[in-house]
Amino acid sequence: MRSTSAAGRRPVVAVVGAGPRGTAVVERLAARFGQAGAGADVEVIEPYVPGAGRVWAPDQPQSLLMNTLAGHATAFPDDSVRMAGPPSSGPSLLAWSRHHSPGLAADAYPSRALMGRYLAWAFERIAAGAPPRVRVTHRGDRAVALAAAPDGRLRLTLAGGGEVVADAVVLATGHTEVLPGAEESALRAGAAARGLVHVPPGQAHESDLSRVAAGEPVLVRGLALNFFDQLTLLTTGRGGRFETSSDGGRRYLPSGREPRVYAGSGRGVPYLARGHAPGTMPAGHRPVVLDDAAVAGLLARGAGAVSFMGDVWPLIAKEAGLAWYGVLLRRRPEECALPVGEFLARYAACGYGSAAEVGLVAEAFADPGARFDPRGLERPLDGRRFASREEFDGWMRARLRNDLAQALAPESSPLKAAAAAVASVKGAVRRLVAGGVLAGDTRADLSWFRAFGAHLSSGPPPSRIAELLALSEAGVVSFLGARPEVRLNAGRGVFTAVSATVPDAPVVAGALVDAWLPGADAARTADPLLRSLLDSGLARAHRGDGGRGAPSGALDVEVAGLRLRDAHGVPSARLFACGIPLEGVEWNTAIGARARSNAALFRQADIIAAGVAEACGAATAVAGAEVGAEKAGGSALSDGRG
């Protein structure tokens, strides 16, 4: 049987974006077409190093670290991945490192550059090892528009002036720019007009920090992972170094080229360190409340029948609370005024936040610090006021020391047990979002939970907290407080920042660094390709609550096949998407693939490959249907530049 493409023409598949997701799609396409004995030209459009993409640039500074352990990272599906396509495998980062970066420990946090080199190697291996009739070509260019071709195929326009006409297109565009809001635009324009330094949100290794002057104050907004990257570039990236002090802690030796950093965020405190006992791999948490049975029950209620805050969050909080009290009472049973078994049984039976639960916890624990308090974890500075910057910095250093100690001994930390519990249920939340059962406009709720979960369980390696503590002790870093109000004082030609946490200590600076990554938002996308899809009607913005709610920020897809829906809601037979642009549909989709975990990234890539094969007629094609002989050598990898 011939391919559904015109007789005498090989089907063409365009994959836009070749970071980890695009690379996984290429691997699955090669496996699918190879299994069918069919031929195809896979055109990979990626302006950065294919495999690594933008985020994992192999030439970024070695000092920028992953927050994932080496033993968890992989670019290849393993036998834990449940997918319909043909099985395949390849070395994990750790296995690859034995020949390319000897000495990497499974419990190490590798550099992002090393991960980038591994991903680039993985892409080359996948492309070079494609079946004889599958040709993978890399075009070092950017796709800027997509339109329907007269013959029903899709025509991609490239920034360099070329084009690709494809039988199917897969969008794996990853992080793209969004248009700034009115307030942000005014700030940028005002800063530029007055010669002030403003580093906008973006990837740390792409930021131009050269204009941030040594010895001068700089405001930094954001205390999440991007903050730690920017801080590293402003300190050790400028010649400073850390050494082990006499008490076993860290001490920072300045180079004299650092700025004076004043950092704050909405929460006002940095992300908590990941729990990681040196020399071990985390055991993880197995859900007992929001488990598979609970998820199945929620899914069975049907579309729009589940409230996130009313039905899902209470189960998450109970999951985390049981983990907290389990560790606390195993380590310090004397903290509880009730028999341990009795307390745990009664606590499990109480609804989260109910009067019965509140009364039980108050009866059992005289010390409020022993009680599981999600609100206190979420907003630790609410209601706190400090008389001076020095007082607040002292409080923050005590907090950092406590967090570091718990992170290095997570088996005895109620906090890190609760964090592991929250991390363990993110997959369940993702299934509920994709299942369409959540009611109403859930964008704010899911955004809140994503931020809360990231703060609690997706923070930096413990070493970064130790370094931040040392930088504060050295006088290089100070803290602004919660929800700092940053303004441009046009008359004085400076930025000012003040927080209610330290109301009498405003900070004046000539530089501002926004240390975060903008979230995906289809309505405000600055990416010309995504914009062209929406403007042409080939795609539409996703809305929650079965299409009745507010925009979620994602492109709309038919979830089962990851096919983009057009302006009328009809799923495309030729256009697919995965990853960041689908955040409002496939919640928390930025998470990478973890080895031995049935990673969703690979399962989605396999689903897309099946759809592409169907679109190209490859599912039933056989080698004899190909017209013309393949050139010697079969598959090929080129850079698309002739």
The H-or-E segment that residue 396 falls in is: helix 389-408
Separation of alpha carbons 586 and 172, rounded Å = 13
Q: What is the pLDDT of residue 7?
A: 52
Q: pLDDT for 118-158, tens place per residue?
A: 999 999 999 999 999 999 999 999 999 999 999 999 999 99
Q: What is the pLDDT of residue 581?
A: 95
Q: pLDDT for 35-75, tens place per residue?
A: 999 999 999 999 999 999 999 999 999 999 999 999 999 99
Q: What is the pLDDT of residue 535?
A: 97
The model's confidence at residue 549, banded by pLDDT at 50, 70 and 90, is confident
Residues 6+ apart with CB under 8 A from 288: 319, 322
Q: pLDDT for 190-210, tens place per residue?
A: 999 999 999 999 999 999 999
Q: Measuring CA to CA, how many Å separate 274 from each of 47, 388, 415, 507, 605? A: 33, 30, 11, 31, 29
The CATH number for 182-271+461-514, chosen from 1.10.3470, 3.50.50, 3.30.420, 3.40.1000, is: 3.50.50
- Per-residue pLDDT at 600 exceeds 70: yes
> Are 12-168+588-631+634-638 and 182-271+461-514 equal in CATH topology?
yes
Describe the crossing of helices 292-299 and 426-434 by its angle, rounded to 10 degrees: 20
Q: Collapsing DSSP states into helix, strand and coil, what is residue 253?
A: strand
Separation of alpha carbons 106 and 90, rounded Å = 17
Boundaries of every domain in the chain: 12-168+588-631+634-638, 182-271+461-514, 292-385+413-457
Give the closest residue to 309 by CA, choosing from 443, 169, 434, 469: 443
Contact 512, 221 (CB under 8 A): yes
Give the closest residue to 612 by CA, choosing from 19, 43, 18: 43
For CA atoms 627, 629, 634, 635, give the dihedral sign.
negative
Bridge partners, 494 (sequence order): 489
Average of pLDDT values for 95-107? 97
Find where tokens 């004082």 sit.
Answer: 489
Q: pLDDT for 467-486, tens place per residue?
A: 999 999 999 999 999 999 99
The tokens for 548 are 């009745």
Separation of alpha carbons 303 and 312, rounded Å = 15
The tokens for 574 are 């030729």
Average of pLDDT values for 298-307? 95
Q: pLDDT for 409-452, tens place per residue?
A: 999 999 999 999 999 999 999 999 999 899 988 889 999 999 99
12-168+588-631+634-638 belongs to CATH 3.50.50: yes
Q: What is the pLDDT of residue 147?
A: 97
The tokens for 197 are 């330094």
Residues 6+ apart with CB under 8 A from 604: 21, 562, 578, 586
Strand order in the sheet with 485-489: 485-489, 494-498, 507-509
Separation of alpha carbons 429 and 383, rounded Å = 31
Find where tokens 């899709």 sit.
Answer: 154
The dihedral over CA atoms of 607, 613, 616, 622, expressed in degrees to the nearest 10, equals -170
The tokens for 454 are 């990231």
Q: Average pLDDT, whole number, for the chain? A: 93
